[in-house]
Amino acid sequence: MNTLSAVFRRAAPFGLLAALAAGAASAADGEKIFTQGGSNPAATACASCHGPQAHGLGAAGFPALAGTSSVYLAKQLHDFRSGSRANAVMQPIAAALSEAEIAAVAATLAAMPGPTVKPTSRADAVAGPGAELALRGAWDRNIPECVACHGPGGEGVGTTFPPLAGQSPEYLAAQLNAWRAGTRNNDPHALMGHIARSMTEDEVKAVSAYFASLGQWGAPQ
């Protein structure tokens, strides 16, 4: 795990070049922020809530972060800061992180192993409203198939479309409800908000349960 800081640790003794390469990150050690917190004490250790492997803590609504794109994670931290994503717990923590710390911790998290995602195809048969939304959409309300943006099984795509598999149903539903309530307004090009707002409460529950069921976290190492 954590190949990035492992590389830095190994590379550092090899002289100037390696030290220069690690320069930006050496000001902020991602792994240290994750396990012990940032230089500002208000930036509490991420692991205390997001779990020692960043697998999240489902029932409490703490999301998994391991293996998610560093660009996406850093964007969320900036969005908490700006308030376009409102959350009483994360906003003060994000505000207490420096730019360098955000970059470092996001890189550390992205390099941690993500969940195993059950392979799905858009051709799969659907049972229930969760799978129906995920694989068929609800186009009468302009809701495309979720997998058309979040990828097969909701594994996530590139730097913009986060994984849904591997998250808890509680967290996924909380996010959909945050868009519905207007407390999360950070989706690029307003691609996601209208979708959440067009869903029924039952659909929010069902589709959250569906994607949560597709991710498996390996045994802790």
Partner 1 sequence: MSRKSSLFVLGLSLALPALAAGVAMDDQSQLTPKPTAAPAGFQPPRESELPDNAFGKLVREGHAIFVDTQTYAAEYVGNGLNCTNCHLEQGRKADSAPLWAAYPMYPAYRKKNDKVNSYTERMQGCFQFSMNGKAPPTDSKVLSALTAYSYWLSTGAPIGKELPGRAYPTIPQPKGGYDIAKGKLVYAQNCAICHGENGEGQKAGAHYVFPPLWGKDSFNWGAGMHRINTAAAFIKQNMPLGKGGTLSDDDAWHVAAYMNSHERPQDPRLVDGSIDKTRERYHANDGVNLYGVKVNGVLLGQGTD
Which residues contribute to the site for partner 1 (CB under 8 A)?
Answer: 121-123, 125-126, 136-137, 139, 142-144, 147-149, 151-152, 155-158, 160-161, 188-191, 194-195
Decide: 24 and 186 in contact? Cβ < 8 Å: no
Instruction: Report the residue from 5, 186, 215, 217 that binds ligand HEC according to the rule CB under 6 A.
Output: 186
CB of 71 to partner 1, least distance (A): 12
Please name every residue paired with 138 in a beta bridge, in sequence order, or none if there are none: 143
Q: Around Cβ 211, how many Cβ atoms within 10 Å?
A: 27
Decide: 94 and 85 in contact? Cβ < 8 Å: no
Sequence-ordered list of residues with C-beta below 8 angstroms from that of 143, at least 6 positions apart, any chain: 133, 137, 195, 198, 199
CB of 115 to partner 1, least distance (A): 14
Q: Of 9-17, 18-26, 68-76, 113-121, which part binds ligand HEC (CB under 6 A)?
A: 68-76
Instruction: Please tell me the distance from the alpha carbon of residue 155 to that of residue 165, in angstroms, as a whole number.
Output: 6
50 binds, among partner 1, ligand HEC, none (CB under 5 to 8 A by kind): ligand HEC
66 is a contact residue toward ligand HEC (CB under 6 A): no
Decide: 137 and 144 in contact? Cβ < 8 Å: yes
CB of 204 to ligand HEC, least distance (A): 8
Residues that bind ligand HEC in the complex, under the rule CB under 6 A: 33, 38, 43-44, 46, 48-50, 61-63, 65, 73, 75-77, 85, 87, 89-90, 93, 97, 105, 133, 143-144, 146, 148-150, 160-162, 164, 172, 174-176, 178, 186-188, 191-192, 195, 207
